[in-house]
Amino acid sequence: MTQTGNIILDVVIIVIKIVIVLGVNLTIVAYLTLAERRVSAFMQDRLGPNRVGPAGLLQPIADGIKFFTKEEIIPAQSSKLIYLMAPSFVLFPAFLTYAVIPVGPTFSAWGYSFQMEIANLNIGILYILALTSFVVYGVVLAGWSSNSKYPLIGGLRSAAQMISYELPLGLSIIGVLMIVGSLRLSEIVNFQTHLLWGFLPRWNVVLQPLGFLIFLIAAFAESNRLPFDMAEAEPELVGGYHTEYGSMKFASFMLGEYAGMITSAALMTTLFFGGWDFPWVNESALGVWGILLAVIAFSLKTGFFLFLYLWVRWTLPRFRYDQLMRLGWKILLPLALVNIVVTAIVMAFLA
């Protein structure tokens, strides 16, 4: 094949991948909003929304119609440009992060090697961390531009919270990166496909249990979910940074939040639970079935973490603000540092 032909083929395949990934993720986001309400209802012995379509399955569509047809209200005292821009700051980074997450092993067919991610970046994990920290701008700007007290308090809180928790979040990953020796997500997953002592899947959660725990907590805080949703805190702040938002602008925040949940669930899977790896099976040797198995394994693991998000939300009460800060700075940060040091010492002895 000619050089240009190759490039065109590449572009076409990437566009197809983008469409698939975006489509799948938007669907999951939509149904996550429904799942949240249904799961919360079940946990409280209620039924939840079950009247639109069979078992309430069309509820997200009804919600979408409602959001789109609602009146657009822009507060008179707001800074209009920033006010209108803020939701996109939350929404787009959350969706961009999916580009580097591998959902299956690389495989070749018809002399072409397919990668099961949109972009196989050599700094994949840094790319994700950089984009997720963008979300804080959206939240702060939304709080600021609304020109109203509750959003401002919510925005300030979440700025402090997200910046504090970014530290333990980043540091907790370093242990993994030291072991694997690469920032490329596909290599991190490949590393985990092997077995430890012949029977245990060499998932990073086995090697880095403390790192995983810190990452889990920090990820909850990063995505502004209960028990760390200081930015919203309905009982005290009326809804926090999005108090003044309505219709589709509000929906963008919600979509962004749920998309962020998917990102961190996928990231937890990729970094600590072997990504697409189905333990004790060599996916690459199984051809198409291997790919399918890998994708299913990845979806199941990510699905579990998404469920964990909902599950924790309806179990734990909200932290107080000072407790939140104490947990972040006085407990998680030192623990993350200890984790790095211990990892380094153990690796030095094993080397």
Partner 1 sequence: MNVKNVKRVTIKPNIWDLLYIPAIIGGLSITFKHLFKKHITLEYPDEKWFPPPGYRGAIRLNRDELGREKCVACEMCATACPANAISMQGGAAPWDDREKYPIWYKIDMLRCILCGMCEEACPEEAIELTVIYDFADYTRESLIWDKERLLKNYDLTKDGNYYKRQLEENKKR
Q: Which is nearer to partner 1, 210 or 296 (CB)?
A: 210
Q: Which is nearer to partner 1, 311 or 321 (CB)?
A: 311
Rounded CA gap, 151 and 141, in Å?
A: 10
Please report, as a single letter, which amino acid is at residue 25.
Answer: N
Q: Is the peptide bond before 227 cis (omega within 30 degrees of 0)?
A: yes
Query: Among residues 27, 46, 73, 326, which is the contact residue for partner 1, using CB under 8 A?
Result: 46
Q: Does residue 45 belong to the site contacting partner 1 (CB under 8 A)?
A: yes
Quickly tell me which residue has 């909003």 as its tokens: 33
Closest distance of CB 311 from partner 1, Å: 6
Q: Does residue 322 belong to the site contacting partner 1 (CB under 8 A)?
A: no
Site for partner 1, residues 290 to 319, rule: CB under 8 A: 311-312, 314-316
CA distances 63 to 251, 260, 261, 272, 287, Å, are: 9, 20, 19, 35, 41
Query: Among residues 28, 34, 35, 39, which is the contact residue for partner 1, using CB under 8 A?
Result: 39
* Cα four-point dihedral sign 19, 25, 28, 33: negative
Q: Which is nearer to partner 1, 282 or 315 (CB)?
A: 315
CB 263 within 8 A of CB 255: no
Q: Does residue 218 belong to the site contacting partner 1 (CB under 8 A)?
A: no
Q: Which is nearer to partner 1, 152 or 336 (CB)?
A: 336
Query: Among residues 9, 20, 23, 42, which is the contact residue for partner 1, using CB under 8 A?
Result: 42
Q: Provide the 3-class DSSP secondary structure of residue 278.
A: coil
Q: Which is nearer to partner 1, 185 or 324 (CB)?
A: 324
Q: Does residue 67 belong to the site contacting partner 1 (CB under 8 A)?
A: no
* Cα four-point dihedral sign 242, 231, 252, 78: positive
Stretch that binds partner 1, among 45-53, 176-184, 255-263, 296-304 (CB under 8 A): 45-53
Q: Which is nearer to partner 1, 220 or 273 (CB)?
A: 220
Closest distance of CB 213 from partner 1, Å: 8
Closest distance of CB 229 from partner 1, Å: 17
Calculate the dihedral angle through the C-alpha atoms of 146, 88, 228, 311, rounding to the nearest 10 degrees.
130
Beta strand 112-114 with 107-109 is antiparallel
Rounded CA gap, 221 and 236, in Å?
A: 18
Q: How far is CA 19 from the centre of its chain?
A: 19
Query: Among residues 13, 18, 43, 295, which is the contact residue for partner 1, using CB under 8 A?
Result: 43
Query: Among residues 16, 19, 47, 196, which is the contact residue for partner 1, using CB under 8 A?
Result: 47
How large is the C-alpha radius of gyration of the chain?
Answer: 21
Q: Which is nearer to partner 1, 72 or 322 (CB)?
A: 322
Q: Which is nearer to partner 1, 46 or 149 (CB)?
A: 46
Q: Does residue 346 belong to the site contacting partner 1 (CB under 8 A)?
A: no
Q: Does residue 268 belong to the site contacting partner 1 (CB under 8 A)?
A: no
Closest distance of CB 314 from partner 1, Å: 6
User: Can you point out the beta strands (E) in the chain?
Assistant: 107-109, 112-114, 195-196, 200-201
Rounded CA gap, 175 and 172, in Å?
A: 6
Residues that bind partner 1 (CB under 8 A): 39, 41-47, 213, 311-312, 314-316
